Amino acid sequence: MAAATRSIGSLTVSFGLVAIPAKVFTATQSSGAISFNLLHKTCGSRLKQQYLCQKEGVVVERDDMVKGYEFSKDQYVRFTPEEIKSMEEVGTHAVEISEFVPIESIDPVYYDKTYYLAPDKGAGKPYALLVEALKQSRRCGVGRWAARGKGYLVILRPIGDVLAMQQLHYAADVRRASEVEIPKPEVKPAELKLAQQLIDAQTAAKFDADAYKDELRGRIETAIQKKVDQGEEISMVEPAPPGEGKVIDLMEALRASLEKSGRTREQAERLGPRKAPKRVEEPAKVVRKAAKR
């Protein structure tokens, strides 16, 4: 747990009569994201956000603000800070497991924020027991957790020897996949066979997150350093004109992908003669500029 060295809090995990005091660690580093500030174009000073009254056109200070809920178009009911506070969930600092379910029964679309839990003093044995029992049963524990005035639906699942607490979206917050209209064209057996061969050719034993890097972050960091040190401009890639993307035959695209893998050229050739592609766009040009101060 080298990346999460400082605990952000503590809670107690309970199932049956077993209680496990645990320390909470963040599993991701959102604070490391690159963000830009708004500056005044003429002098470079940082800008300050202000709120304007749409009716009177004047700047409204925080002391003169109240919260309201729009129940109809341009109609609001007001709530005082005390009223809002009275409706918030009371932090319990505890997660009571209400049931255990197969981990594969939870669609990843429900996954939200993840935390790591570590055993607190004297909780090493029951912590290890729960982790091992979940691993061997291939189940996760479902429970609730209240913090920061909100109630969360969570699951407890093992990641290696670490117990992870995964926040879940409530069902009302997740749109059903059936709401998306999808056309149903005919899938030809030859196309399906070629697609399956492509999947086989590109299949790895397991997912390795370290193999994928945030290339955008790397480009931004490099550009920032250039501007700080040398004042060099960023290399730009010209986007393709609208409506001029690749238009090629589906079978040809699958066949080309297989041949690119270098392992299934003979399989592709056995599926029949090639069809000439209709049109392939030219690759985007790369423009590089360097301006010295």
Threshold 0.75, pTM exceeds: no
At 84 the pLDDT is 81
* More confident position, 109 or 254: 109
Going by the DSSP 8-state scheme, the letter that residue 247 receives in this structure is B
- Residues 119-147 have pLDDT tens digits of 999 899 999 999 999 999 999 999 998 87
- The mean predicted confidence, pLDDT, of the chain is 81
* More confident position, 39 or 2: 39
Residue 242: pLDDT band (50, 70, 90) is: low
Q: Which residues contact 81 (CB under 8 A, 6 or more apart)?
A: 67
Interval 55-59 mean pLDDT: 89
The region of weakest confidence among 60-74, 94-108, 200-214, 276-290 is 276-290
- Residues 43-52 have pLDDT tens digits of 888 888 889 9
Whether 100 shows a pLDDT value over 90: the answer reads: yes
Residue 107 near residue 59 (C-beta atoms within 8 A)? no
Whether 166 shows a pLDDT value over 70: the answer reads: yes
Whether 255 shows a pLDDT value over 50: the answer reads: yes
Whether 20 shows a pLDDT value over 50: the answer reads: yes
Q: Which of 51-60, 213-222, 270-279 is modeled with the greatest confidence?
A: 51-60
- Residues 2-19 have pLDDT tens digits of 444 788 889 999 888 888
* More confident position, 260 or 66: 66
Whether 285 shows a pLDDT value over 70: the answer reads: no
Token pair 């709120």 is at which residue? 51
Fold of the domain built from segment(s) 9-29+88-172: Ku70; Chain: A; Domain 2 (2.40.290)
Rounded alpha-carbon distances, angstroms, from residue 165 to 116, 125, 139, 158, 280:
6, 18, 13, 9, 48
Q: How many other β-carbons are positioned within 10 Å of the β-carbon of residue 140?
A: 22
CA terminus-to-terminus distance, the chain? 45
* More confident position, 1 or 29: 29
> Could you give phi then psi for residue 10, rounded to 5 degrees?
-145, 155
Strands (E), the chain: 9-15, 18-26, 51-52, 59-60, 67-72, 75-79, 94-102, 111-119, 139-147, 150-159, 162-168, 236-237, 286-287
- From CA 257, how far away is CA 48, in angstroms rounded? 51
At 232 the pLDDT is 60
What stretch(es) of the chain map to CATH 2.40.290.10? 9-29+88-172
Interval 87-95 mean pLDDT: 76
Q: What angle do CA 261, 239, 290 make, to 5 degrees?
A: 105
Q: Which of 159-163, 225-229, 277-281 is modeled with the greatest confidence?
A: 159-163
Whether 99 shows a pLDDT value over 90: the answer reads: yes
Rounded alpha-carbon distances, angstroms, from residue 58 to 67, 68, 179, 234:
18, 19, 43, 40
- From CA 114, how far away is CA 26, in angstroms rounded? 7
At 246 the pLDDT is 53
Name the percent of the chain lying above pLDDT 90: 34
DSSP bridge partners of 111:
168
